[in-house]
Each structure stands twice: as structure tokens, then as C-alpha cells.
Amino acid sequence: MKRALIITGITLGSLLLVLIAAVLIVIYIVFTPDRITPIARQAAAEYITCEHEIGEVDLTFFSTFPRFGLRADGLLLINPKAGSQNDTVVSAPRFTATVDVMEFVNNKRLVIHEAILDDASVNFFIAPDGTTNLTDVFVTSPDTTDTTAFSLPFDELRVDGLRIAARGITFVDAKDTIDASLGFTELSAKAASWDDMLIGLDAQDVCAHIKGKTYADSLHVELIAPLAMNLDAMHFRFDGARLAINDFNLRIEGETTIGDSIALDVQLETDKWQIKPLLALVPQTFTKSLSDLDIDGTLQLEATAQGYYADSVMPHIQAHLVLKDGEGKYKPLPYTLRNVKIDADADLRMNKGEQSSVTIRTLEAKTKKSAVAANGTVDDLLGNMLMDMHLTLDANLPDFAYFYPKNMTLNGRAKGKANARIRLDDLTAMRLEKGRIDADLNLSDIRYATDSMEAELPLTHARIHLPNPKPSKPKLNWARIDLETDKVDFSMLTPLKAALKASTIQLETGNVLSNDPVLCAAVALQSDRPIEVETDSMGGAIDAPNLKAYVEYNTKSETGLEKAQANMRFDGLEGFFKDIRADLKASDLSATVSGGKSIRAKLSTRALKAKMGEELDAKTGDLSLEASARYNSKGENELLKWNPRLKINLKNGELNMPERLPEPVYIPSIDFKYSNREMDIADARVELGNSDLNLKGNVRNIGKWFRHKAILEGQLDIVSDHCDANQLLAWFSADSGSEEVSESSEKSESSEKSEITNDQSPITNDADKASEPFMVPTDVDLALNTHMREVEIFNQVAKDLKGGLYVKDGKLILDEMGFVCRAAKLQLTAMYRTPWRDHIYLGLDYHMIDIDIDELLTMIPNLEEMVPMLSSFKGAAQFHLAAETYTDENYQPKISTLRGAASLTGKDLVVMDSKTFSKISKLLLFKKKTENKIDSINAEMTVYKDQIDVYPLCVQMDNYMVALGGRHKTDMTFDYDINVLSPIYLGVHVGGNMDNLKIKLAKCKYAKDFKPHWYQKADTQSLELRQMIKQSMEKNVRIQ
């Protein structure tokens, strides 16, 4: 066996040696470079039309063993083209190829066993007209009409090894403005067929510019790409290509077709990339929209690109992005995000009219002292991003100061969840109302402050909705906040302070971030604890409130509070507004305040206490009140400043007005309406001092009356069980007389404090005021219809007083006031007029029937001065008096003005046993009896100045007829004539005074009056005057 093998080996070796020898002979003797080179050059010249050079061409065996190859040195193709970057198309120092020529000739099958091009330089150029610098390099068909497409001269391809090493490759497409270059490049290729190719590329310094934009700059590109290609269709398919650009590796699968546009259906998958260096590589076209982003981290991307790439067309790109350890900054926002994790899907559609979006499965980030986790979607990614995010927040609120208005500070912590749907532009511009934000947060240590307000909430659960889904008013459409808090301290600059405990609050607001200086807010609040509110002019503590309020506050207005509305129910309230103080028990209150100058309120309360400056102090039991007021700073007093309108129904009221009334007014019940124009009393029971009054009626022109511009008019019906008239007159006296008012108004209307310094000077202190006479106001026109069951007047008590009391034109008129007292039934018409303080008019029309004379003299002491003889009588009488006088300021009569007439009728009068009468009776020899009765007496008298003239009257007594008459003076001197007319004529004159009585005999001057038969003519003048007086007296009697 061994021998056989030796023999076989020797045989084969010999054959090989023979063969080698034969080849060597062929190569070195037959196919020498000198023989082959011309042949190659000649053959090249037949196929290459452009300038070219071929160096020595040699046949290779050992370098291409076991096949014969061809080596050409100095290969050069030169095809100048206008605009080309280089006339040289290809230059290569050496080209070696092993080609199966017989396959190409016989089967049109290009089989390249090996092709090596070393150190080549390649320049491809496409002219603007579409021609290339390769177009006319090779011989083409002379038939120019041939329009068939270029086709390869071989049908199949097989490349066992192709290696091109170039020191530089350039590509310029002047038509599409493409400029690309590769530095040292090594290209390798293998191809079993067009569908089974493997391309390898390692290119340094890869640059690419398209239409002036840089798409690659000094990149190192490595590519290993299994490839299938169809050059006719320019269709390429990559099956698991691996591309590395610089340090960024990715795998590509897919296919593309290059034509007028590039059709893509490519998937790529990257390794973990660092973002920052990656972004530096990405063409600006793709990163333009991310110019404001400064991000870094580890990124892994899976993406697909489908579609076309052309001038104005971009393919559809879908990507799945995972970012870890990210850090980022968005220039418009002063935030640096740390520990960013993102797991997101991007859908990029970059054609016109299309929108890109991102679906964020996970986004976590931290910034400053806050952390957020989110998921959601971002639509219109490359435009105005629309974010629809679901966030979990643990936010340190000061971290977000960027979003707050410049004048706003917000401290505290918010933890919870939020949903936000808003565009990025709106978010960065704080147009939050354009989006939608819903949050459920636990707030702690919240402190909110702006230039004009502050709020502190230690612990609060808040639900926030922007915009307000159900605004109670159109202006409150910006936000709704529901709070459950243990405490709120709130203050505003006006100043306004409020403190709440354990409350549930619903807050609706207008846009607090806008430039509108008017802030609107509505609050609904329920609390079991009191709230305290205070401004410089208003404040209060409200117990267990249930409040709904609406406020408009102007931060740039002096008044600040433009409008406030509130509806509130509470167990108690203590408050003040300017100088009005109030204290209410369980109540329902609704109020509106506008511009700090008008108020409307409705109140229903079980009890109220209120105080207005020093002018008014009131308290009530059950009270129902509707009020409105409009502030006018020009008003002379609080009522005129506020112009209140009131509708009041109250029980158990008490009113103090110390400037007007010295004692409180008690109001058991009242139902009335008040405005400065009119007060209408439907029913009012009032207790004024010692008097009780039941009032109905109305009073008009109150405000104008206070301003002294109108007359106070009114009609009131007054019913009283008891009235102290003396007390009421003292309370309501005016300051000056009616004529004095007109005189002083002519002199100086502006001066309330008179310049008069004589006795008529006005009183300036209460003590002096008390001694002044009552001056009837001239600006009052009031009618009081009265029915008083009991009245204290002067030193008498009158019963069942009815009549009218009128105040008009500076007169106080008691019109046919009738009443019953101990002395008589009375009817009185009286006038009290005060033209001057020291010239006061008092007039009476006075009727008394069923008189008790004793009581009469007690009631009218001055009557005894006028009719001294009355003191001598007792019994029943009728009395009529018309009298008037002027008085001084102390009510002392000016005697020169005293005028009057009186009529006295008596029946069954008993003459008392007086000293005077006893002297007379002795002189006239009367019988002495224990009681003397005069059947009747009719006395008429006139009063003129200090004289009372008693017209002659006749008295029948015993057997005697006595006439008497005379004159009485106010100094208590008198002159009376007593004439005995029966049984004899005898006259006595009584004169002097009670201490110095002078009695003397005199003529019977009254005989002609009562015994006319002695004379031919009766003297009727006296009788006529007496009848005239009596008739004038009795004509005005109304009482029965």
C-alpha cells in the first residue's frame, strides 16, 4: 500500500510539474506584458470612448492562483464634464481582476472571481441635464433613435470577491444639488446573484450635502449589508444590514427604490446610543424642531420608515424610543429635568398637512424638588404640541414659579394626580384656560401671595378643574377648586382679612393669570366653625356659616372691591361696615356691595343689634329687613350720605338716637318702609318715653328735609293709650323761630352757627336749649290724627282725646281736639305760632260743657284772675273762651296783645260764704242762710289788654234781683257795680283789691238793662254785645 501511494504521488507530482512548466512557458514566453498590453489597450479603445490610459497589462497566476487573472497598472479614465468636480472619473494605480470570460461570452453571465482596485480615486458627476461623466465613457449604439433603456450586457452576475480601496470617492449631482464625498473607503462585495449580495463598506470622512443642507459631516460609516438589487428598477433590498455611523450602530432591514423619489420601507434598530452626540449627527432638517431641547441620556430606538422621500415628501416614520438616565432642558422653561425615563412611541408624519404624535407609555422626571410621572399622548409633535397627559405629582410648588404671574408667590407642596390636555404654547404662555387640567391633590403648607392678596392653607385636599366645567357665572369659567381644609387664612391689600377653620370650600375664579386687573371669584363655603373677615371699612365674625359669595376685585382701583354678592346662612354674626356695627343671631342674609358705594341686603334674623356712628343705636327681636343704600360723600350726615332704603318688619325693637331724642324709643312691633324720599308706616307701635303710640301713615321728603331743601310732609294716624305731651314737646323743639329762619337765610345761608349775639342768639348747649321756647319748624307739614285715651298735658290728665294736630307753615294747630277730663267735656282748637323767639302767638278756642268750676279753676289758674268772682261759686257751668296773646320767650304774656272773649253759663250755682259777699249781704240786709243757690247765671266778658270787662249780668236770689258788672284788671284791681234792682233800687260800687276793698254807694247804672220799663227806651247795646259774644262762642262747639 505504501508503495502504491508513493508511486501515485510521484506520478501526480510529475504531472503538476509538467503543468506548471507549461503555464510558466505560456505566461513568460507566450503571454508577456508586451504582447498582452497592446491587446488590452486595443480592446479598451474599442469599448472606451473617453480619454483613458492603461498601463502595463499582465497576466497573473501566482497572485490569482489557481486562476489566471489580469493585472493592469495605471488605469485612468478621464471624461471632462462641465461643472464636474474632477475630470478624472477613475484613477487606479493597479487593477486586478479574475473574470470568467467564457461565461460572459457564452452565457452572458458576468463572473468575477476576484476584482481588486487599490488606492483608487473615483469621481462621479451628474450634470444638471441629467447626463453623467460615465454616460459616454463606453461605446454606445450609433442609432440615436434607439430609445430603449440602458441594459446591462450580462444577465447574471456572480462576484466571488470584489474589493475596491479608494483614497477618495466623490459624488456630485448638480441636478439635485447633492454633494457627497468619502475619504478612505474600502468597499467589498460578494454576490452569488443579483438577489444574493453582500456589500461591505468602510468609509472615513463621509460628508453629504443636499441642497445646501448638511446631512453628513466627517462621519465614519461602516456597512455590512446583505443586499439584493435590481439595477434596472434601482430597487435594493437589505436583509439585516448593519450600519455603524461613528459609534452609533444600527441594524437595517427593508428595501428602497431610487427613482425620481426614493421609496422606502425600512426598519431600523439601534443599539443604546447617547443622545447628545447623536443629535450632533442628525441632519438639522430633522432636529430643527428640537432646537430648543437640550437633552442627554441613553437612547434606544426602533423605527420604521415607509413612504417616499423627495423634495417635498417625507416618509412616514414610526419609532419606539426608550430613554434612560436622561437629562433635559427645554429652553423656554427654566427647568432641568433629571432622572428622566421615557418609553414612548413616536409617529412622525412630516408632510404638509400631516401631524406627528408621540405616545408616552412612561415618563418620569425630577426637577428641583419635584417629581412627576406621566403617561399620555402628544399630538402635533412637530407643530404646536397638544399634550394629553396623566400625571402623578409630588410637587414643590415654588419649583413652578415660572408658570406663575410675576407678582405671585406660591409655596407649599402638592401631591396627587392630574390630567392635563393643553398645547405647549398655551402652557408656556400660561393660557391655561385654552387647555383642560383636572387635578386631585393633597396640599400642605400652602402659602399663596400676590401684590394684593395672601392665603395660607396648612392642610387641604383640593380638586382643581381648569376650565371650570360648570361655571355659575360666565366670568367664572377659568377655574374651579374644591377644597376641604382644616384652616384658611386669607388677606388682601385693601385690607381684607379672612380666617376659616374646618371648612368645605368651592371656589370658582376668572382668569387670575391674565392682565385683566379685575379679578372675579365665587365662593361656596360650609363650616361648623366661625369665619372672620375684616377690611379697613368692613369686618365680621360669622358663626357656622353656609355661604355663597361672588366678588369682583379691581387690583388697580382705589376702591378695590367693585362688586360683592353673598348669600349666607349662619348661627351668628358680629360685624361692622364703616361706622355701622351689627350683631345678628341665626339669620339668612343676602347682600350685594358694588364699588364700595352701594349696598343691597336682605336679612331675616331672630335678633339684631346695630349701631351707626353716634347717631343711631338699634336692637330688635325677630327682624325681616330689606335694605339698599348708595353712598354719596357729599351728604351732610350719615342718612344723606347713604340714602338708605329700608323695608322692615320687626318685633321687640329699641332705637336710640341721642342727637335727636334723649331717651330710647321702644318698638314692640313695626312694619314700615323707609327711604329718604318717603317713609310709609303700615303699622308701628312705639313707646317714646312715657308715651305709647301706634302709628300709621307716611312721611315724605325726609332726605330733602335733612338738607333743608324741602318741606317734611306727612299724614300720620296716632292712637295712644297714654301720652306724655309735656315730654314730647320738650324733645321735638326746633332751634329757631319761623321769622328768624327767613331773616337768617337772607343774611347768611351757609352759616348754621349764627352770628347773632343779642338775646335772640341761638342756644349752643343743652342746658340753655332746655329753657328756650318750643319753636315750630317751618319746614314741616305734618298732619297727626290722634286718638289718645289718656294725655298728660301741663298739670292735667285728659281722657279720650281725639282730633287733629297739624304742623304747617310754622304753626302748630290743634284742631277741634276734644277730650274728657275731671273738670269738663272739652273741645279745644288752639294755635301755637312762633314767628319770633320772643314773640310767640298762642290762641285758643276753648269750649267746656258740664263743667265742675273747682276743677276748672285748677285747670286754668289764670281764669281766676280774669273772673275772680268764679272763686265764689261752685257747681256746674258751661264755659266758652276765645282768647289769644303773644308771649315772650318765657311764655309770659305780652299784656298789650291779650285779647279774648268768654261766656259762662251756670245753673244752680251755689255762692260760697266769702268775706266779700258777707259784707255785701249785711249791707243789703240779706237773710242769712247756710246755702244760697242761684238759679242761673249768664256772664259774658271781654279781655282787652289788662282789662277784663264783665258785661252786666243779672242774678236772682231770695227776694232780690241783683245786677252786677264791671271791670277787672290783671293787677287784681277791680271795679264792680252791684245794683239791687228788687225790691228797691240800690247801687253799690266795689273797688280796689282784695286787701283794700272800697265799697261805696253808687247809682244803679244797670237798671236800664234789666228793668227797662222805667225808661222809655231800653239800652240794648250791652245786651246785643253779650249776645254777640255768646253766639260767636257757641258756633264752634262740636262736642255734645
Task: Name the residues that contact another protein, by CB under 8 A.
Answer: 831, 835-836, 838-839, 841, 843-845, 882-884, 886, 888, 894-897, 899-901, 942-944, 967, 975, 984-987, 1001-1005, 1007-1008, 1014, 1025, 1028-1029, 1032-1033
**Is the CB of 284 or the CB of 897 nearer to another protein?**
897
Q: Which amino acid is at 652?
A: N
Q: Whole-angstrom Cα distance, residue 56 to residue 94?
A: 10
Query: Between 783 and 831, whose beta carbon lies closer to another protein?
Result: 831
Residue number with CB closer to another protein (328 or 843): 843
Burial 281-300 (b: 16+ CB within 10 A, else e): beeeeeeeeeeeeebbbebe
Helix (H/G/I), strand (E/B), else coil: 170:
strand
Q: Shortest gap between Cβ of 944 and another protein (angstroms)?
A: 5
The values of phi and psi at residue 689, to 5°, are 60, -120
Residue 400 and residue 403: Cα distance in Å, rounded? Answer: 6
Nearer to another protein, 86 or 921 (CB): 921
Nearest distance, CB of residue 774 and another protein, angstroms: 18
* DSSP letter assigned to residue 1013: G
Q: Which is nearer to another protein, 636 or 958 (CB)?
A: 958
Q: Which of 765, 759, 904 is nearest to 839 (CA)?
A: 759
In this complex, which beta carbon is closest to another protein, that of residue 513 or of residue 1018?
Answer: 1018
Selection from 548, 489, 555, 569 nearest residue 519 by Cα: 555
- The 3-state DSSP class for residue 92 equals strand
Nearest Cα to 877, choosing from 845, 908, 914, 839?
908
What is the smallest separation between the CB atom of 948 and another protein, expressed in angstroms?
11
| Closest to another protein by CB, 251 or 894 | 894
Question: Cell numbers at residue 547, please?
Answer: 355661604
Residue 946: CB minimum distance to another protein, A: 11
Work out how close the CB of 845 gets to another protein at its nearest, in angstroms, rounded to a whole number: 5
Task: Calculate Rg over the CA atoms of the chain.
Answer: 64
704/1008 with CB nearer another protein: 1008
Q: How far is the CB of 664 from another protein (least distance, A)?
A: 38
DSSP 487-506: EEEEEETTTEEEEEEEEEEE
Find the shortest distance in angstroms from Cβ 810 to another protein: 13
With H, G, I as helix, E, B as strand and everything else as coil, classify residue 250: strand
d(CA 250, CA 282): 14
| Residue whose CB is less far from another protein, 423 or 1030 | 1030
Q: How far is the CB of 839 from another protein (least distance, A)?
A: 6
Please state whether beta strands 248-258 and 88-99 pair in parallel, antiparallel, or not at all (unpaired). unpaired
CA distance 209 to 711: 99
Least distance (Å) between residue 983 CB and another protein: 8
What is the smallest separation between the CB atom of 557 and another protein, expressed in angstroms?
Answer: 59
CB of 761 to another protein, least distance (A): 16
751 alpha carbon, distance to own chain's centre: 45
Q: How far apart are the first and last CA of the chain?
A: 184
- In degrees, rounded to 5, the angle at the alpha carbon of residue 234 between the alpha carbons of residues 232 and 239 is 120
Whichever of 758 and 1040 has its CB closer to another protein, that residue is: 758
- Of the pair 660, 1003, the CB lying nearest another protein is at 1003
Residue 376 Ramachandran class (φ > 0 left, ψ -120 to 50 alpha, else beta) = left
* CA–CA dist 528, 525 (Å, integer): 10
Question: Alpha-carbon distance 88 to 74, whole Å?
Answer: 13
Nearer to another protein, 255 or 888 (CB): 888
| Strand blocks (E) in 246-286 | 248-258, 262-274
Q: How far is the CB of 955 from another protein (least distance, A)?
A: 18
- Quick one: 242 or 899, whose CB is closer to another protein? 899
Q: Specify the 3-state DSSP secondary structure of 140.
A: coil
The answer to whether residues 891 and 841 touch, using CB atoms and an 8 Å cutoff, is: no
Contacts of 24 (CB under 8 A, 6+ apart): none
Nearer to another protein, 482 or 838 (CB): 838
* DSSP at 406: T
Q: How far is the CB of 745 from another protein (least distance, A)?
A: 18
Which set of grid coordinates corresponds to residue 1032?
260767636
Q: How far is the CB of 1040 from another protein (least distance, A)?
A: 21
DSSP states of 864-893 as a string?
Answer: HHH-GGGGGEEEEEEEEEEEEEEE-TT--E
The DSSP code sequence of 52-86 is EE---EEEESSTTTTS-EEEEEEEEEE---TT-S-
Query: Shortest approach of another protein to residue 956 CB, angstroms?
Result: 19
Smaller CB distance to another protein: residue 648 or 1004? 1004
C-alpha triplet 594, 598, 600: angle, nearest 5°: 90
Instruction: Compute the least distance from the CB of residue 968 to another protein, in Å.
Output: 13
CA distances from 332 to 285, 427, 428, 431 (A): 21, 11, 7, 15
Structural element, H or E, at residue 739? helix 738-747
Do residues 432 and 457 make contact, with C-beta atoms less than 8 angstroms apart? no
CA dist list (Å): 694 to 517, 716, 724, 750: 53, 10, 14, 38
Q: How far is the CB of 758 from another protein (least distance, A)?
A: 12
With beta carbons less than 8 A apart as the criterion, state whether 801 and 816 touch: no
The amino acid sitting at 350 is M
From the CB of 722, what's the least distance to another protein, in Å?
30
